Amino acid sequence: MKQELYRKLVAYLVENQDKFYRLAFSYLKNQEDALDVVQSAICKALEHYGELKSEAALKTWFYRIVLNESIILYNKRKREILTQDSEWMEQSYEEKGFDIHDDLYARIDRMEETAQKIIKLRFFEELTLEEIAQVLEMNVNTVKAKLYRGLKALKIAEGEEEETWTV
Partner 1 sequence: MDRMTEAKREYHDIPIPQELSERVALEVERAEKKRRFSLLKRRIASAAAMVIVLFVTGLNTSEVFAREMNDIPVIGTLARIFTIRSYETETEDLKISVDIPSVEMIAEDLQGLEKEINEDIYAFCEQYAKEAEGRAKEYRQAFLDTGGTREEWEEHEITIKVWYEVKAQTDRYLSLTVKGAESWVSAYSEERYYNLDMETGKWITLHDILGDDYAGIVRRSILTQIKQRQAEEGTNYWPDRWKGIDDSTKFYMNRNQEPVVVLEKYEIAPGAEGQLEFEIRKEDW
The yes or no reply on residue 4 touching partner 1 (CB under 8 A) is no
Distance CA 69, CA 65 (A): 6
The yes or no reply on residue 64 touching partner 1 (CB under 8 A) is no
Q: How many residues bind partner 1 (CB under 8 A)?
A: 29
The yes or no reply on residue 123 touching partner 1 (CB under 8 A) is yes
The HSE-up count of residue 123 (CA atoms within 13 Å, CB side) is 17
Out of 27, 33, 42, 147, the residue judged to bind partner 1 by CB under 8 A? 42
State the Cα angle at 49 between 46 and 50, rounded to 5°: 145
SS3 137: coil
Stretch that binds partner 1, among 60-68, 72-80, 104-112, 130-138 (CB under 8 A): 104-112
Q: What single-letter amino acid sits at 103?
A: D
- Nearer CB in complex with partner 1: 55/160: 160
Minimum distance from residue 144 beta carbon to partner 1 (Å): 17
Residues 127-166 that bind partner 1 (CB under 8 A): 158, 160, 164-165
E-strand stretches of the chain: none
Distance CA 99, CA 160 (A): 15
- Nearer CB in complex with partner 1: 94/105: 105
Contacts of 132 (CB under 8 A, 6+ apart): 117, 118, 121, 122, 138, 143
The yes or no reply on residue 21 touching partner 1 (CB under 8 A) is yes
CB 131 within 8 A of CB 121: yes
Summarize as ranges the residues that interact with partner 1 (CB under 8 A).
6, 10, 13-14, 17-18, 21-22, 25-26, 31, 35, 38-39, 42-43, 46-47, 103-105, 108, 120, 123-124, 158, 160, 164-165
